[in-house]
């Protein structure tokens, strides 16, 4: 690779960045940079950090920092960089979806992961991305979450979007509900989500087919609350008839 053969990592980085900056925005691809940075990390850690700091200051690269950062395992410095990127309004929420790929979040301590997800959830379109990252963090793994991440998960679930017709989001939300909405301590989060679900169903913003996994998980983890909140006692006529089909 470039990072192994080049006599000067600095000059090679500069050339790669210049080439990217000269490429139209719609045609930019940072895969070569990711591969280069991965090798740099193994060869010269301090230089890797310098290059990542440089990326943070370049308009052509700043939105790609989340992907570039995953060229190496995530540590505290990486998490600080990701938080700074989340605070940048020019960096859209969707670029952080890479944190859900290939167990990328596995090295991150629960307290730091919770910090990242809570901050991401504030960005426009961030809640759905945060939920997906959290779902992939636990997917297929037998991991016991610590209190900071449990609290974060319940907050994300409580505020989960319910008007988007996304089966991917429904699947992620259903999985997280099964993990985190068991027991009395989870009732407030469940009640908040169910209240918004009830309204969305009544207003035809979603159908039960849009939130099938979510509904199944809610009735499995909080059955009495789900019956009371989502079905009710039938006082509102047509709304009750629609909800009784759940």
Segment 205-235, tens digit of pLDDT: 888 889 999 999 999 999 999 999 998 765 5
Q: What is the pTM of this model?
A: 0.89
- The answer to whether the beta carbons of residues 61 and 20 sit under 8 Å apart is yes
d(Cα 91, Cα 207) in Å, to the nearest integer?
A: 32
Q: b vs e for 55-64, b when ≥16 Cβ sit within 10 Å of the residue's Cβ? A: beeeebbbbb
Tell the residue number behind the tokens 């979040």, with chain if given: 105
| Residue of higher predicted confidence among 172 and 7 | 172
Could you write out the three-class secondary structure of 85-103?
A: HHCCCCCCHHHHHHHHCCC
What are the pLDDT digits (tens) for 86-107? Answer: 999 999 999 999 999 988 999 9
- The answer to whether the beta carbons of residues 9 and 40 sit under 8 Å apart is yes
pLDDT band at 142 (very low <50, low <70, confident <90, very high): confident
d(Cα 235, Cα 139) in Å, to the nearest integer?
A: 40
171, two tokens:
């699947």
């Amino acid at each position: 690779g470039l990072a192994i053969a080049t006599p000067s990592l600095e000059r090679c980085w500069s050339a790669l960045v210049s080439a990217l900056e000269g490429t139209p925005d719609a045609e930019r691809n940072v895969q070569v940079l990711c591969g280069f940075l991965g090798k740099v990390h193994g060869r010269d850690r301090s230089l890797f950090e310098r290059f990542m700091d440089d990326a943070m200051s370049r308009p052509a690269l700043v939105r790609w920092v989340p992907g570039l950062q995953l060229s190496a395992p995530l540590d505290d410095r990486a998490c600080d960089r990701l938080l700074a990127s989340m605070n940048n309004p020019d960096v859209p929420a969707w670029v952080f979806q890479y944190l859900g790929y290939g167990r990328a979040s596995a090295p991150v301590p629960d307290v730091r992961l919770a910090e990242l997800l809570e901050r991401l959830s504030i960005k426009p379109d961030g809640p759905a991305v945060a939920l997906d990252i959290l779902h992939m963090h636990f997917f297929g793994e037998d991991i016991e979450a610590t209190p900071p991440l449990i609290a974060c998960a319940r907050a994300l679930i409580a505020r989960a979007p319910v008007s988007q017709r996304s089966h991917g989001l429904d699947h992620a939300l259903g999985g997280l509900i099964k993990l985190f909405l068991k027991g009395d301590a989870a009732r407030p989060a469940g009640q908040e989500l169910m209240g918004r679900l009830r309204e969305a169903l009544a207003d035809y913003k979603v159908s039960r087919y849009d939130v099938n996994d979510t509904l199944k998980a809610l009735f499995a983890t909080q059955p009495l609350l789900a019956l009371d909140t989502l079905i009710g006692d039938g006082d509102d006529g047509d709304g009750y008839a629609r909800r009784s089909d759940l």
